Amino acid sequence: MPSTEAPPGAKRWVPPHPQSIEELKSAAADCHGCELYEDATQTVFGRGAPRARMVFVGEQPGDVEDQRGLPFVGPAGRLLREAVDDAGIDPGDLYITNSVKHFRFELRGRRRVHQTPGPAHIASCRPWLVAEFALLQPELVVLLGATAGKALIGPSFRVTQQRGRLMPWPASAQHPEDFPVAQIQALATIHPSAVLRADDRDTAYRGLVDDLKVAAAAIAN
Ligand code: URA
Ligand code: SF4
């Protein structure tokens, strides 16, 4: 039966003074901040350069990521790497993570069908994102799709309206106090999975690359 109680949230599992992403990642492996850990295979933490200038934030791990324990290693990840390359972003400048760190799905027969995480999952998992930002101190955050926008800006975020332009962040968040991190810039774009689902894939892909070029230009110096 679905519980109506708010989940406890990840905060109590986040170490108070983490020294490295590895330390956060191993603490997150035990997180029971919401119910998603119960059915998923494992926590899928972020990964990338320890001094990344850009942090990419997706939605949640997919089926492949859940099994391999790494973010963006399935079809959406392949497309994202290609787009990063076409936008002229150095992959060595990147760290990639998700708004929610366990795979949410529904079983249909033997198939695990992706389910979009809800506001309670996003809120429960936010302490991990905050801890990642606090450690990495990037210059720019790239929000991939609606869930990342809702997690880092707020529920009124609309990717169609806010994509492709630089925003001050966390100043532009509805509750900037949720993010006790340095002021940087944010850029929203569509999720690579939306490109894979689009009727006109070429146009959707070009749109993603054009947005990522704005991110590339923002950190070029
Ligand atoms: N989609 C996401 O948002 N994140 C992943 O890690 C994989 C697919
Ligand atoms: Fe913890 Fe996030 Fe997993 Fe929920 S989804 S159990 S808050 S790591």
Give 163-173 pLDDT, tens digit per residue: 999 999 999 99
User: pLDDT grade, residue 1 (50/70/90)?
Assistant: very low
Q: Phi, psi (5° rounding) for residue 76?
A: -65, -35
Residues 6+ away with beta carbon under 8 Å from 61: 40, 44, 71, 98, 101, 102, 103
Kindly tell me the burial class for residue 202, based on how many C-beta atoms sit within 10 Å of its own C-beta (0-12, 13-18, 19 or more). Answer: exposed
Residue 27 Cβ inside 6 Å of ligand 2? The answer reads no
- pTM recorded for the entire structure: 0.96
Instruction: Return the residue matching tokens 């892909």.
Output: 205
Q: Which CATH class is domain 11-220?
A: alpha beta
Q: Which atom of ligand 1 is nearest to the CA of 96?
A: 6
Chain mean position to CA 35: 19
- Pocket of ligand 2, candidates 12, 24, 121, 147: which has the most ligand atoms within 8 Å of its Cβ, to mutate? 121
Residues 6+ away with beta carbon under 8 Å from 210: 164
Give 55-73 pLDDT, tens digit per residue: 999 999 999 999 999 999 9
